[in-house]
Amino acid sequence: MPDQSRLGAFEKRHNAFQTSHLYLCIGMTKPLMIGIAGGSGSGKSTVARNVAELLTTSSVVFIDMDAYYKNFAQLTFEERRKLNWDHPDAFDYDLLCQHLDALSRRQPIEKPEYDFVTHLRRPERTHVAPADVVVIDGILLFVDERIRDLCDVKVFVDADADIRLIRRIERDTHARGRPLDDVIEQYLSTVQPMHLQFVEPSKRYADVIVPRGGHNTIAIEMIVAKIQRRLARGPLDAGERRTPSAQRPTPPART
């Protein structure tokens, strides 16, 4: 009797080879994955939009990490309001990783949509087709090692705390209909503490740091130039790939 475990391993390798061969035959390469992180109100989305507008020769899709908040439908509205939405545990990293992995293999996904008024996922989903460049933005994007290793280029958007607070107040009161007192209370109780504990330390994983938020034209043009050079070179060879996060020194704890 043949060893079933060996047969299974051989079949896996054979299927992987066939998939890689098919990609090469039809000219498909792994898309470039661009991760953009930074504090709430730092200008991440502005950087992402500006980068996309300048990448005129390539197809680009956006994935917003905010869409991957966990769905706490079993809780009441008041209970959901009191959750710490700025902690990594609030995000469905498993689903986000599955979707990014699918896009990296040029497979479409059905991205969830999140309602910031009710703090629930909407019933509808958004179809996202594969593209040459995938841009992902989120405050806690670089906290998860799997996400870091999926990103070919990691960008951290930096902005002063007072600027970020003003932008957050404007966004939450106007676009999300939240009372000013609630916005300030959330900022002091969870947003700022979680920023210091998780977001700021993740800056050290970035390849590029963009100071002064999303309107730093020179920094954005430099990022686009780097992306265009990478796209022109084609897929990375094994020797060129970045050292996995698991093999890098662990950042020291904050004091």
What is the pLDDT, as a whole number, of residue 28?
A: 57
* Residues in the chain, pLDDT under 70: 1-28, 234-255
What is the pLDDT, as a whole number, of residue 235?
A: 58
Task: Tell me the per-residue pLDDT of 101-110, one tens digit each, with 9 for 90 and over.
Answer: 999 999 999 9
* Whole-angstrom distance, CA of residue 228 vs CA of residue 40: 28
Looking up residue 72, the CATH number of its domain turns out to be 3.40.50.300
What is the pLDDT, as a whole number, of residue 23?
A: 41
For residue 234, is it within any domain?
Answer: no
By residue range, what is the domain housing residue 147? 30-229
- Residue 43 corresponds to which tokens in the numbers above? 């200008």
For residue 150, is it within any domain?
Answer: yes
What is the pLDDT, as a whole number, of residue 4?
A: 53
For residue 14, is it within any domain?
Answer: no
For residue 22, is it within any domain?
Answer: no
Pairing assessment for the beta strands 109-115 and 120-128 based on DSSP bridges? antiparallel
For residue 250, is it within any domain?
Answer: no
Residue 234 CB partners (closer than 8 Å, separation 6+): 29
- Please report how the helices 217-233 and 44-54 are oriented relative to each other, as an axis angle in degrees rounded to 10: 50
For residue 23, is it within any domain?
Answer: no
Please calculate the CA angle 198-200-202 and round it to the nearest 5 degrees.
Answer: 70
For residue 16, is it within any domain?
Answer: no
What is the pLDDT, as a whole number, of residue 212?
A: 83
DSSP result, 71-100: --TTS-HHHHHTS-TTSGGGB-HHHHHHHH
For residue 124, is it within any domain?
Answer: yes
- Total tally of structural domains belonging to the chain: 1
pTM above 0.75, yes or no: yes
